[in-house]
Amino acid sequence: MTTWDIIQAHLPEALLETLYMVVVATVVGIVLGGLLGVLLYVTESRLLHANRAVNAIVGFIVNAIRSLPFLILLVVLIPVVTFFVGDPYTPTGGAIALCVAAIPFFARISESAFAQVDPGIVEASVSTGATVPQILWGAVFPQARPSLVRGIVITIISLIGSSAMVGTIGAGGIGDMAIQYGYNRYETGVLAVIVVILIAIVQVIQWIGNRRAKALTH
């Protein structure tokens, strides 16, 4: 098969598998990671609901997962993924691994975004007698939105890179295609096309994210 034949036959499916893994991991990472970020922020803030023990425990777990290189995390998660989905060497297995990596990653990003909110705004909300949920929803989230959008962009781009590494264990996606048809068969044209596509995708996502963050900045 020529380089063009390989690209026509395998690139659409590889892109769909990568899209599936990244979208699933992004949604799970933002939802669960965002909740952890809120918990870390609230238990750290003396103005809200400081709890040193909870903050230390959650922070330790988040840091422990983040300290593992992604390839090592993949290997560690193989028995867990096998238990839940049977075959870890599938896009679903790769998506689970990406979710585990995305949750603590976005947790720290969201915590940092919340921490950048002017404490004076939070203090003013507390003085009015607002509850913690009211303060978070009415004061903290609106002020943190530009930073959160930038954090989401960083997370998506990081997941795209990690999804390519998932291919090294044969879990599908463009990384798998690059290994099987580009590296193993010495098809440099396939590798070049995949690299160009990755660069283009990242540039578009970054551009969209930057525009959205600027629109939310007051």
pLDDT in tens, 106-123: 999 999 999 998 888 888
Who has greater pLDDT, 175 or 109? 109
Give phi and psi for 15, each to the nearest 5. Answer: -65, -40
CA gap 182, 191 in Å, rounded: 5
The total of other beta-carbon atoms located within 10 Å of residue 158's CB is 21
pLDDT band at 19 (very low <50, low <70, confident <90, very high): very high
pLDDT band at 41 (very low <50, low <70, confident <90, very high): very high
pLDDT band at 141 (very low <50, low <70, confident <90, very high): very high
Instruction: Say which amino acid occupies 12.
Output: P
Give the pLDDT confidence of 120-135 residue by residue, as tens digits: 888 888 888 888 888 8
- Given a contact cutoff of 8 angstroms between Cβ atoms, the answer to whether 33 and 62 are in contact is no
- Given a contact cutoff of 8 angstroms between Cβ atoms, the answer to whether 162 and 98 are in contact is yes
CA gap 115, 121 in Å, rounded: 12
Whether the pLDDT of residue 1 is over 70: the answer is: no
